[in-house]
């Protein structure tokens, strides 16, 4: 510290006496360093004893007996024998769960097990393996592979994940139960998104009988400037109360948000709703005035704005798993975008894309756009879990979407579009790589045989 430095400088001016004091200070520092290193070494030794089990063995005789029985059950100094493969009854009772992000298949002994017996990555389950092998892990791997194939054949929007493990035999029944839960009480729409400023047909059909639509002028900030945009808000003339614009809510709004008589001076969006009342109007300082809270505002925007869908899906997946992974091929899409932006040439970016997304070579246009201008919008899409043509449009929650790379998204679209009348196309709505590849090749052969032109 400063006092020592002062004595050292003063001693240096004094000649030999200063040299003696400097030597004493150096010896004192050396001894302090030696004591510190000795303390660190003692701490390291204590940590090693804890990890090695020496502390537990010295503190508990029962621990020593348990560890010895675990490491040497026979007591003859030999390693424990390998576990026997599960029997046929045990295989039927096994429960499986698929991770929603890594696609690992976890194997559980029963539905109440908290810890999995084994976990297999997708690339290991795709291997043929040795059909004659009888080791415990190989038997479990074959059972997990059979479950994954059956799981991929189910519709994507009602597949159970790891939090709902089930047996191979009960998988179809559980998927049907999830489908009924998802579809219960929900008004379906075949429109991808609702109009930005007007109510959709589904929203107009679900409007309470006593309510009407009135124009609501909202100040919105776009490109750094504020502008007034007219929306249509539900209003109940019987009680004089505005209603929440979220079609799943329609709750009366309290506070100072009131409607007044008079025509709005702002241009009205087309087309007019069926039950529009132009003699009433209201104004809001932001879009939050249209709804009763933040959750309803989020649902209202997701049903209308594709950009809001991408932002919400991205935020939810980054919060949960640290990045955005394609839910079919498992590629880390955000990491891939960062790697592409760091490459100097288009040829290098194209080579990386073909290495990470080889199925993208089937669509040269998508490959060229991703290699020329690498961005998230060029590499992944927020895909509807339930097909829009099957009533999955106007989805108002991030759980209704899956992030897919552009190649997997196109493959799923092709697989669900071709041959919608046959059973194979119905199965492919759940999408699997094997099914998509087989369905697309069969469609190509059928079109070539009939001489029909291919759709572009």
- Across 196-266, the runs of DSSP E, i.e. the strands, are 212-222, 225-236, 241-242, 260-261
pLDDT at position 222 over 60:
yes
Token duo for residue 96: 């499986």
% of the chain exceeding 90 in pLDDT: 21
pTM (two decimals): 0.54
Calculate mean pLDDT across residues 246-260: 80
Report how far residue 452's alpha carbon sits from residue 443's, in angstroms, rounded to the nearest whole number. Answer: 11
The sign of the CA dihedral 256, 259, 265, 269 is positive
Closest CA to 190 of 15, 393, 349: 393
Between 187 and 287, whose confidence is greater?
287
| Token code pair at residue 215 | 């124009």
Residue 84 binned pLDDT confidence (cut-offs 50, 70, 90): confident
CA nearest 110: which of 122, 99, 123, 97? 97
Instruction: Output the pLDDT for position 417.
Output: 74
**Of the given ranges (5-14, 196-205, 259-268, 365-374), which has the lowest mean pLDDT?**
5-14
Q: In what order do the strands lie in the sheet with 95-98?
A: 95-98, 105-108, 118-120
Most confident stretch, 112-121, 190-199, 366-375: 366-375
Residues paired with residue 97 on neighbouring β-strands, in sequence order: 106
pLDDT tier at 128, thresholds 50, 70, 90:
confident
Distance (Å, rounded) from C-alpha 22 to C-alpha 401? 72
* Cis geometry, peptide bond prior to residue 271 (ω within 30 degrees of 0): yes
DSSP state of 30: H
Q: What is the pLDDT of residue 255?
A: 66
Q: What is the structure's pLDDT at 453?
A: 41
Closest C-alpha to 399, from 416, 379, 382: 382
pLDDT band at 132 (very low <50, low <70, confident <90, very high): low
- Whether residue 19 has pLDDT greater than 70: no
What would the pLDDT profile of 382-429 be if each residue is shown by its tens digit? 998 888 877 778 888 877 888 999 999 999 888 877 645 444 444 434
Distance CA 334, CA 326 (A): 10
Helix (H, G, I), strand (E, B) or coil at 45: helix
pLDDT > 50? residue 376: yes
**Tokens describing residue 350:** 């194209």
Weakest mean pLDDT among 255-259, 343-347, 451-455: 451-455
* 2-6, 152-156, 170-174, 188-192: least confident range: 2-6
How much is the pLDDT for 61?
53
CB neighbour list of residue 131: distance below 8 Å, 6 or more residues apart: 142
Q: Which of 133-142, 160-169, 220-229, 362-371 has maximum average pLDDT?
A: 362-371
pLDDT for the residue 71 = 57
Which of 280, 150, 276, 297 has its CA nearest to residue 207?
276
Residue 337 is predicted with a pLDDT of 93
| Phi, psi of 195, rounded to the nearest 5 degrees | -55, 145
* pLDDT at 56 (0 to 100): 55
Choose among 27, 29, 25, 30: nearest CA to 11: 25
278: nearest Cα among 307, 235, 321: 235
Please determine, for residue 239, whether its predicted confidence score (pLDDT) is greater than 70.
Answer: yes
Q: Is residue 432 very low, low, confident or very high in pLDDT (cuts 50, 70, 90)?
A: very low
Distance CA 373, CA 108 (A): 45
pLDDT tens, 30-80? Answer: 777 888 888 888 888 887 776 665 665 565 555 555 555 555 555 565 666
| CA nearest to 303, candidates 403, 395, 200, 202 | 395
Q: What is the pLDDT of residue 422?
A: 41
Q: What is the pLDDT of residue 38?
A: 81
Determine how many CB atoms are found less than 10 A away from the CB of residue 257.
Answer: 17
Instruction: State the average pLDDT for the chain.
Output: 77
C-alpha torsion angle, residues 158, 160, 166, 172 (rounded to 10)? 20
| Mean pLDDT for the stretch of residues 123-133 | 74
Choice among 10-19, 176-185, 447-456 with the minimum mean pLDDT: 447-456
């Amino acid at each position: 510290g400063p006092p020592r430095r002062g004595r050292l400088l003063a001693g240096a001016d004094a000649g030999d006496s200063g040299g003696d004091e400097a030597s004493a200070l150096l010896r004192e520092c050396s001894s302090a360093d030696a004591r510190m290193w000795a303390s660190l070494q003692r701490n390291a030794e204590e940590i090693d004893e804890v990890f090695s089990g020496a502390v537990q063995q010295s503190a508990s005789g029962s621990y020593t007996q348990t560890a010895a029985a675990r490491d040497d059950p026979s007591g003859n100094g030999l390693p424990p024998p390998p576990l026997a493969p599960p029997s046929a009854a045990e295989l039927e009772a096994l429960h499986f769960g698929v991770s929603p992000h890594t696609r690992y298949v976890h194997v559980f002994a029963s539905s109440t097990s908290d810890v999995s017996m084994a976990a297999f990555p997708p690339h290991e389950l795709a291997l043929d393996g040795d059909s004659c092998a009888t080791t415990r892990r190989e038997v479990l791997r074959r059972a997990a592979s059979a479950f994954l194939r059956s799981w991929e054949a189910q519709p994507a929007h009602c597949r159970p994940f790891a939090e709902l493990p089930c047996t191979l035999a009960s998988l179809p029944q559980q998927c049907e139960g999830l489908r009924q839960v998802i579809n219960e009480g929900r008004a379906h729409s075949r429109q991808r998104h609702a109009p930005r400023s007007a109510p959709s047909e589904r929203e107009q059909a679900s409007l309470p009988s006593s309510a009407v639509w009135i124009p609501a002028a909202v100040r919105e900030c776009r490109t750094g400037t504020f502008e007034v945009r007219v929306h249509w808000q539900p209003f109940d003339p019987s009680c004089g109360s505005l209603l929440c614009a979220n079609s799943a809510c329609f709750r009366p709004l309290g506070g100072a948000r009131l409607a007044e008589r008079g025509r709005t001076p702002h241009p009205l969006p087309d087309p007019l709703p069926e039950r529009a009342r132009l003699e009433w109007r209201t104004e809001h300082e932001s879009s939050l005035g249209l709804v009763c809270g933040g959750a309803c505002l989020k649902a209202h925007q997701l049903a209308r704005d594709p950009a809001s869908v991408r932002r919400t899906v991205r935020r939810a997946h980054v919060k949960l798993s640290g990045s955005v992974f394609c839910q079919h091929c498992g590629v880390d899409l955000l990491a891939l975008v960062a790697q592409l932006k760091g490459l100097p040439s288009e040829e290098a970016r194209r080579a990386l894309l073909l290495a990470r997304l080889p199925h993208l070579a089937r669509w040269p246009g998508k490959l060229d756009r991703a290699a020329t201008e690498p961005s998230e919008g060029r590499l992944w899409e927020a895909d509807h879990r339930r097909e829009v043509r099957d009533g999955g449009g106007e989805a108002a929650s991030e759980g209704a979407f899956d992030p897919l790379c552009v190649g997997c998204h196109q493959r799923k679209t092709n697989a669900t579009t071709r041959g919608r009348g046959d059973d194979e196309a119905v199965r492919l709505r759940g999408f699997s790589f094997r099914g998509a590849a087989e369905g697309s090749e069969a469609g190509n052969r059928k079109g070539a045989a009939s001489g029909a032109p291919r759709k572009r």
